[in-house]
Structure 1
Amino acid sequence: MSRPTLLIVDDNERLAQSLQQLLQLHGYNAEICSSGEDALQLVMDIKFDLVLLDLSMPDMNGFDVLTELATYSAPPPVIVISGTKTLNAAIEAMRLGAYDFLRKPYQPEELLHTIENAIEKSRLETQNRSIHARLEESENLYRYLVNSSPDIIYTLDDSGHFTFINHRVETLLGYRRESLIGKHYTEIIYSDDFDRASYAFNERRTGNRATRNIELRLKCKDLESDIRHFEINFITVVLNATGTYGGTHESGTPFSGTYGVARDISDRKKVEEVITRQAYHDTLTGLPNRALFKDRLNVALNHAKRNQQQLAIMFLDLDRFKWVNDTLGHFYGDELLKHVAQRLSGCLRAQDTLARMGGDEFTLLLHDLQQPEDASLVAAKIVDELKRPFLLDEREIFISSSIGIALYPDHGDTIETLIKSADIAMYHVKWRGKNGYQYYEASMNAMFHKKLSMENELRRAIEKKQIMLHYQPQVDVETRKIIGLEALARWHHPELGIISPTEFIPLAEETGLIFSLSEMLLGEACKQMQLWEAAGLLNFRLALNVSPQLVEEESFVSKTLSYIQSHHLKPEFFEIEITENLLVRDLENTVAKLKALGKHGIRIALDDFGTCYSSLSYLRQFPIHNIKIDKSFVGDINTHDESVPIITAISGIAKGFKLDLIAEGVETLQQMKTLHKMGCNIMQGYLFSKPLPAQNITTLLKRQANLFHKNGEPDDALITQH
């Protein structure tokens, strides 16, 4: 299959090139032009599958381009990507024919999903036009065949009895021609169509000689199908020809009756049903799509307003669906969506509506709520259902769901307001940790916009390289040397100062910015390691914290090794720190990736050990080289008795599995001495050094020989100002 070709229309060259690279990475051909006039000429000369259009351009704005494109024959679909944030601009763009409106800065994943949907919709419309064209050709053929009597041609007397019918009735309906002569037409009319047929045929008594047309279902006899669809044309006529029809009429007496042609349109009706279904249903799951959902919501809202009833809207997003697509492939992603649709359908009543909005997003409409709490019962049931494993091709897939709930009339009284409120509530669940549900609250609007603002600032920070690495030494208290450094990200915000990674890393993971951020920081770490190697100081390992999303990415191993090798560094100088929650997400793939890194000499450290699952089976299966005692245990070691046996147990586990042991968060001499007695020799924490910029670490590395006094206490060169 040829790659779809897209046209990017944007006078911002940098943004256009960035978008072009993104599209090319995802299998699209992409052309760029910077003006509306050029775009219109290109669309005339080249068949594009999609146009990505900016609104603000100097010579001809996006609205003018949309207006002109509307005059073209079968123009490509248009997605508007604009920095204009007013609702009116979006409404105007959609009115002029845009498929969708995305604001800059856009989410790459959202943009790619929108592009995919737009191209698919355009493909279906082209297919439908082709079907309609074939149907029109078929209708022309039918007219020719009618003249050659291929259809059912009949006459009725004044009371509605057959006086003539051709032989086509035998092949189309299964009746013998002779058996119908003298029978009333209602004997072959499908019962549900009696009233319409009677009204139409009885109108001929008014004397109106105009041709009439009606679609009716006719009963079949001894055929596969019980009924067939016919388009029936008939006209009141006065006949006095002899031998044209049966009956007991006196020769020469004018006969008043009905002449008609019944054309079999069963195949056309089937095609129309398919077209209608495609227009209002999701092709993958068979569920109602966005258009049908909004239509049903509109009907439900009007009903609820008239009867003063409550209804609920749920906006559901699958957690970890992107991982399934990226790791296992789109086939598994599609199969998972089908299974999810089935489970969701099982959680609803017959009168409720479940729709797929696109991607991994679903909406639910609950009618006639007796009380608001009823919606939470359904949401809780859905959360529990989707937590159960999905079995796809003998592979267990674990996902969860985030659900936002909006109620009418409490949270809105229009389609757009209710969907938006439910969407905001869903994002609140995402930010809170996923896997749950939440009713909309007015206060969420401010939080939603704050998160969006923070996301935009984070995006700019990555572009401007405001996020840098600090390094915290890992010290062997027996050899009195720095044997490792942990790289820790710090956001140097121009107004807020240094921002901790606990504040921006979760947001980066949620928005997908974690990938570009991690690539930038890994590159910075490799460059710094090059400098230390050139200075003869590289005799330690650098520990890098990695997000579970990075490990789940299919190219994680190759990208990591590529960065290290491109800087001419040995993998043995690097260590990857993972957390325990990664171990339960996809055991088989994670083990394979970590083993691949281990074969190249990269060590694996298990961070925050003891705070999560702490299953010994994971230590046995995973290629882990060392475990890190969480600082929460270290901080309590001299004040809470329960921390001592925990650390003792962790130390025993490390010894039993022949793993190195590192204690984090060591801040006092007493903690250092206690940990040393318990078998832990490698430590890091503010007692030795806080995380420092690279130049400060370089100074420490040069003074390694004199880091401790003879009494065993760290020297001031190592203990930095807190």
Structure 2
Amino acid sequence: MPHSSSIPIDHLPTPTILCSLSGTILNTNNRADKLLGTKLTGRLIDNIIDFSKSDLSDCRCFADVIAVIRERSVDLNNLTVLHNQAPISHLNLFFNFTTHEDIDAVIIGIQDYTERKKLLEAFEYKQNLLDNIVTTSNDALIVFDRIGCIELFSPAAEVMFGKTSTEMIIEDIYTLFDNHCHQQLNQIIDHLNTSDNSNEVLLFEDLQPINPKGKVFPASITFSRSQKDRDLLYFMVISDKSLFQQFINSVNDAYIKTNDEGKIIDFNNKAEALFNYDRNTLLNKHISFLGIRSSNNTQVVSNVSNLVDSKDHIDYFANSRRGNELTLNLTVWPQEINNIRLNNLIIRDISQKKIAERQLIISAYTDSLTSLANRACFNKSLAEHILLASQTKKPFALLAIDLDKFKSVNDNLGHDYGDELLKVVSKRLTACVRDFDLVSRMGGDEFTIIIKEYENLDLIQRIADRILRSLRREFSLKDRIVAISSSLGIALYPHDANNAEDLYKSADMAMYAAKRAGKDTFRFFSKEMFQEYERTKLIENGLLAALENNELFLHYQPKISYTRHQVVGFEALLRWNSPELGPVSPAEFIPVAEDFGVIVDLTKWVLKNAIHTMKRWRIEHENFVNKQYTLAINISADHFKQDIFNDIKTILVEEEYPPNLLEIEITEGTLLEKTDDTLEAVQQLNKFGVKISMDDFGTGYSSLQYLKNFSLDSIKIDRSFVKEIHNDSCNFLIIETIIAIANRLELDLIAEGVESLSEVEHLVNLGCDIFQGFYYFKPLPENQVVQAVERFEASKAYPA
């Protein structure tokens, strides 16, 4: 750089500094002050500009820089400003040596490089980013001109099509696609050439590019354009959907993609199979072509976008091309590619699920054995009918039906016969009512019928009579003929109740009233039944507490030998004094205990307490040991369904009580109801030493087969025969026959319920020796038994 004379610098158009060769700033112009952010005169330039990072790497200070510049005549670029006040960060310096007031100096011109530096860095970043996208993207980028000639072929395009960019520069885009796509490509290019929208992006899912093996592959292709100077450039980006297609073809649901116009642009194999249309038929069809309609609207779905934000979880319906009815579940999510709105539909075929649900509902409301409505269906129907009747003011009737003797069939012949009987009963009940009446099986042998809209009670009575006659007829079950009957209870809405629970309860109470009336009949509900029902419920609840609260106690009724004039045994009789109900008769609470399922617990209590008392009497009173009094206890038929033998054996062993002094009394009904199990239990007890007595002989079936099979020790003549023995010749003959049979079979005979000397004398004349009844003793409380027995046996006279 040449030396020049001293000149002023204020007029120079660029930021300028006048500096001594040692680095002291002698003067600056306004542009320099403004650029560097402060007045610099008098300061060292080394403190303003960092020369250590200049192009002259060996220079550490301004003096070194001046020495090199004098020698090499160079400028310095890309220097950094040191102080914080300067708004710039990068400088280029230009040097011109001169003198100032006879001092050697240098004029330094400054060029601000900061903004240019930023622009260059941004440009380089964008260029690198673009290069990286073109180089690393899996999508093929192809740039072509207005007639389709290729100008750029990205590395991903080379891999996708198996051709180099050099090869493709002389080709056009048509060579990349199957021949049948060429016409569509022409239309696309024509549209791009003529469109006024320079930002438009076109998306196509149906174009078929060709892979290196010459096979078409599924692709998503976008077209756009950009203007370079006056020339238009066209961009094509191709995304290979082969993997995506494999994925959507592997899912179990149908997949359909539509464009913003609702046209189908892609779908999977499941969609073809579901609707039974091939690809060529479905492609580019509007979605309405499939005829999908919602469950609450018969109109065909035509705008998929409306389903995107729908909160309704509803079913959709359609028909396949073969006419199969389809129930569908739709899930829709939007997709946007370069401002193009797409909709993706996942269509799940729930036809079989809905069929299964319907079957499940049918199963939930249908009795599996009889195919009648079940309890759940009855409850639902009854509630609905009450609501309807409350609006129409039309009455209806509810019938509760229970089969008599069904338990005997089930126990003796087996559950297969019981089930077969229930099926036939169901058919007969259905045949007895009108088509619109509802017959339901509530469980077991309990049925109900809702008789809808009756005009008068004659209709109800005729239906009830028809049912009784129908179920009274014999049933042919496999190889057996079975006879049963039924008991019906009838409640009327709204006369007897205005809600479902009370109406059913009323019909049920009426049904039990029919059973108490002798069965094989029907009864209409009455308020008196409700009072009886309420008492029964109080007894049921009271029995549960009676065992725990020591409300139960025993009375003992002696058995007397006429010829020996002595007590030979006792029958233990259960009594109950309820705190709420007072004394409750066994005739009332025993049947309730049997129905309520607590009779076995009561029997165990009687066995344990009665045996314990007899043991104590044997210990405390010598007379009880010598006389070997027997203890008789009634056993319910329900106990034979359980392990009665071990129950009795356990108590006898615990109490160390002789088995031969225990006598269990069973009825003919018990022997009939459970022949096999009862026979086994009786034989076990008999072998163990326990005596078996048939109670109330003559009131049941009086089958001599029982006397033969069950190895009985005694039979008891029922009070119903004894009380009229002196007036009724028929009773006399029956008792005479019973006594003759007992004597021939060497069975002990007890006449129960004797209340007069006349009855005793008649029975003695017929050969009966043992008696039980009020004539001798009423049932005695525990604390009166010993003294009463001692008084009786000390007396030589018979009771008056």
Match for 1:412: what amino acid?
A: A
Q: Partner residue of 1:153?
A: 256
Q: CA deviation at 1:267?
A: 4.7
Query: Is the counterpart of residue 369 in structure 1 residue 454 in structure 2?
Result: yes
1:610-629 to 2 correspondences below 5 Å: 610-629=698-717
Question: For the residues of structure 2 that align with 1:147 and 1:670, how far apart are their CA atoms?
Answer: 99
Match for 1:228: what amino acid?
A: L
Question: For the residues of structure 1 that align with 2:315 and 2:545, how far apart are their CA atoms?
Answer: 62
Query: Is the counterpart of residue 201 in structure 1 residue 289 in structure 2?
Result: no
1:511/1:261 CA distance change after superposition, 3 Å: closer
Identify the match of residue 647 of structure 1 among 735, 741, 755.
735
1:322/1:188 CA distance change after superposition, 3 Å: farther
Query: Is the counterpart of residue 299 in structure 1 residue 402 in structure 2?
Result: no
Q: Partner residue of 1:517?
A: 602
Deviations for 1:3-55, whole angstroms, at most 9, x for unmatched residues? xxxxxxxxxxxxxxxxxxxxxxxxxxxxxxxxxxxxxxxxxxxxxxxxxxxxx
Q: CA deviation at 1:339?
A: 6.8
Conservation of the 8 A alpha-carbon contact between 2:248 and 2:255: no
Question: For the residues of structure 1 that align with 2:332 and 2:784, how far apart are their CA atoms?
Answer: 96
1:167-206 to 2 correspondences below 5 Å: 167-178=269-280, 199-201=299-301
2:300 aligned counterpart, secondary structure: helix
Identify the match of residue 528 of structure 1 among 596, 599, 613.
613
Q: CA deviation at 1:572?
A: 0.4
Identify the match of residue 684 of structure 1 among 755, 772, 790.
772
2:780 aligned counterpart, secondary structure: coil
Q: Partner residue of 1:92?
A: none
CA RMSD between the two structures? 5.0
Q: Partner residue of 2:571?
A: 486
Q: Partner residue of 1:693?
A: 781
Conservation of the 8 A alpha-carbon contact between 1:398 and 1:585: no
Match for 1:622: what amino acid?
A: F
Match for 1:527: what amino acid?
A: H
Query: Is the counterpart of residue 408 in structure 1 residue 496 in structure 2?
Result: no
Match for 1:446: what amino acid?
A: Q
Conservation of the 8 A alpha-carbon contact between 1:156 and 1:164: no
1:230/1:334 CA distance change after superposition, 3 Å: farther
Question: For the residues of structure 2 that align with 1:162 and 1:494, how far apart are their CA atoms?
Answer: 83
Question: For the residues of structure 2 that align with 1:266 and 1:236, how far apart are their CA atoms?
Answer: 26
Conservation of the 8 A alpha-carbon contact between 2:253 and 2:347: no
Deviations for 1:398-445, whole angstroms, at most 9, x for unmatched residues? 987654322223223333442333344345446656665432222322
Identify the match of residue 635 of structure 2 among 535, 546, 561.
546
Match for 2:745: what amino acid?
A: F
Q: Partner residue of 1:229?
A: 327
Deviations for 1:385-406, whole angstroms, at most 9, x for unmatched residues? 7789999999999987654322
Q: CA deviation at 1:203?
A: 7.1
Conservation of the 8 A alpha-carbon contact between 1:340 and 1:386: no
Q: CA deviation at 1:146?
A: 8.7
Identify the match of residue 605 of structure 1 among 670, 673, 693.
693
Question: TM-score w.r.t. structure 2 length?
Answer: 0.57
Conservation of the 8 A alpha-carbon contact between 1:344 and 1:382: no
2:716 aligned counterpart, secondary structure: strand
Q: CA deviation at 1:149?
A: 10
Structure 1: runs of 5+ lacking an equivalent = 1-140, 242-253, 709-714
1:375/1:639 CA distance change after superposition, 3 Å: same
1:656/1:209 CA distance change after superposition, 3 Å: closer
Question: For the residues of structure 2 that align with 1:588 and 1:149, how far apart are their CA atoms?
Answer: 58
1:478 aligned counterpart, secondary structure: coil
1:443 aligned counterpart, secondary structure: helix
Query: Is the counterpart of residue 508 in structure 1 residue 588 in structure 2?
Result: no
* Farther off after superposition, 612-621 or 399-408: 399-408
Q: Partner residue of 1:35?
A: none
Conservation of the 8 A alpha-carbon contact between 2:365 and 2:373: yes
Q: CA deviation at 1:526?
A: 0.6
Deviations for 1:161-204, whole angstroms, at most 9, x for unmatched residues? 988765434433444444567999898769xx799776133678
Identify the match of residue 445 of structure 1 among 530, 533, 537.
530
Question: TM-score w.r.t. structure 1 length?
Answer: 0.62
Q: CA deviation at 1:703?
A: 6.2
1:540/1:238 CA distance change after superposition, 3 Å: closer
Query: Is the counterpart of residue 578 in structure 1 residue 678 in structure 2?
Result: no
Conservation of the 8 A alpha-carbon contact between 2:254 and 2:267: no
Conservation of the 8 A alpha-carbon contact between 1:591 and 1:623: no
1:419/1:664 CA distance change after superposition, 3 Å: closer
Conservation of the 8 A alpha-carbon contact between 1:189 and 1:216: no
1:393/1:402 CA distance change after superposition, 3 Å: same
Ranked by relative contact order (alpha carbons within 8 Å, sequence separation 6 or more), the top structure is 1
Q: CA deviation at 1:569?
A: 0.5
Question: For the residues of structure 2 that align with 1:597 and 1:396, how far apart are their CA atoms?
Answer: 33
Q: CA deviation at 1:692?
A: 2.2
Conservation of the 8 A alpha-carbon contact between 1:151 and 1:261: yes
Deviations for 1:472-512, whole angstroms, at most 9, x for unmatched residues? 22222233332222222334567998654223322332333
Q: Decide which structure has the larger Cα Rg and report it.
A: 2
Deviations for 1:587-613, whole angstroms, at most 9, x for unmatched residues? 222222212211111111112222222
Conservation of the 8 A alpha-carbon contact between 1:316 and 1:362: yes
Deviations for 1:359-397, whole angstroms, at most 9, x for unmatched residues? 876544332334434445555566677789999999999
Deviations for 1:614-666, whole angstroms, at most 9, x for unmatched residues? 12222222222211122232222222322221111111221233322222233
Identify the match of residue 429 of structure 2 among 328, 347, 356.
347
Conservation of the 8 A alpha-carbon contact between 2:370 and 2:426: no
Match for 2:560: what amino acid?
A: V
Question: For the residues of structure 2 that align with 1:683 and 1:406, how far apart are their CA atoms?
Answer: 47
1:558/1:154 CA distance change after superposition, 3 Å: same
Q: Partner residue of 2:556?
A: 471
Match for 2:653: what amino acid?
A: Q
1:226/1:344 CA distance change after superposition, 3 Å: same
Q: CA deviation at 1:300?
A: 2.3
Deviations for 1:551-588, whole angstroms, at most 9, x for unmatched residues? 3x312221122122211011100111122222221222
Q: CA deviation at 1:342?
A: 7.2
Q: Partner residue of 1:23?
A: none
1:162/1:499 CA distance change after superposition, 3 Å: closer
Structure 2: runs of 5+ lacking an equivalent = 1-243
1:390/1:511 CA distance change after superposition, 3 Å: farther
Count how many residue pairs are aligned between Structure 1 and Structure 2. Answer: 548
Conservation of the 8 A alpha-carbon contact between 2:408 and 2:672: no
Query: Is the counterpart of residue 633 in structure 1 residue 718 in structure 2?
Result: no
Q: CA deviation at 1:698?
A: 1.9
Identity of aligned residues (%): 33
2:648 aligned counterpart, secondary structure: helix
